[in-house]
């Protein structure tokens, strides 16, 4: 069964600290993996998109890694800011162009406190 699991479900960190969010998936075949940031009351916004040939991708203070062999990805946030408080969603595409081949994790809720 194609699944995407994220951990932890929620996380509280102090401003300025680093954190790492995890995404494990069983989706096959694999096409690409995306990380989205969703602020409260807003739609998800793309942070990174990685294909199977990419194992690291950065977007400012956000760095995503991908291990296609172990089917794991992580999102590392450096020097956290209050504005990083949001839900982070991992999405895995099983390839092809159909809309039914996207599998969404339930997200990690990050709270950054001063």
Partner 1 sequence: DAGITQSPRHKVTETGTPVTLRCHQTENHRYMYWYRQDPGHGLRLIHYSYGVKDTDKGEVSDGYSVSRSKTEDFLLTLESATSSQTSVYFCATLQGTYSYEQYFGPGTRLTVT
Residues that bind partner 1 (CB under 8 A): 4, 32, 34, 36, 41-46, 49, 89, 93, 97, 99-100, 102-107
Tell the smallest beta-carbon distance from residue 44 to partner 1 (Å): 5
Tell the smallest beta-carbon distance from residue 29 to partner 1 (Å): 15
Instruction: Say how many C-beta atoms besides its own lie within 10 A of residue 68's C-beta.
Output: 16
Phi, psi (degrees; rounded to nearest 5) at 11? -155, 135
Can you state the percent helix, strand and coil of the chain, rounding each to 5? 5, 55, 40
Tell the smallest beta-carbon distance from residue 32 to partner 1 (Å): 6
Identify which of residues 71 and 78 has a Cβ nearer to partner 1 in the complex: 71
């Amino acid at each position: 069964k194609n699944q995407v699991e994220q951990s932890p479900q929620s996380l509280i960190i102090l401003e300025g600290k680093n954190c790492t969010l995890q995404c494990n998936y069983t989706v096959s075949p694999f096409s690409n993996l995306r990380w989205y940031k969703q602020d409260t009351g807003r739609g998800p916004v793309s942070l990174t998109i990685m294909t199977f040939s990419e194992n690291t991708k950065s977007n400012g203070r956000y760095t995503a890694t991908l291990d296609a062999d172990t089917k794991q990805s992580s999102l590392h946030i450096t020097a956290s800011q209050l504005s990083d408080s949001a839900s982070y969603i991992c999405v895995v595409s099983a390839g092809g162009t159909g809309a039914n081949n996207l599998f969404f994790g339930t997200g990690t809720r990050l709270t950054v406190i001063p």
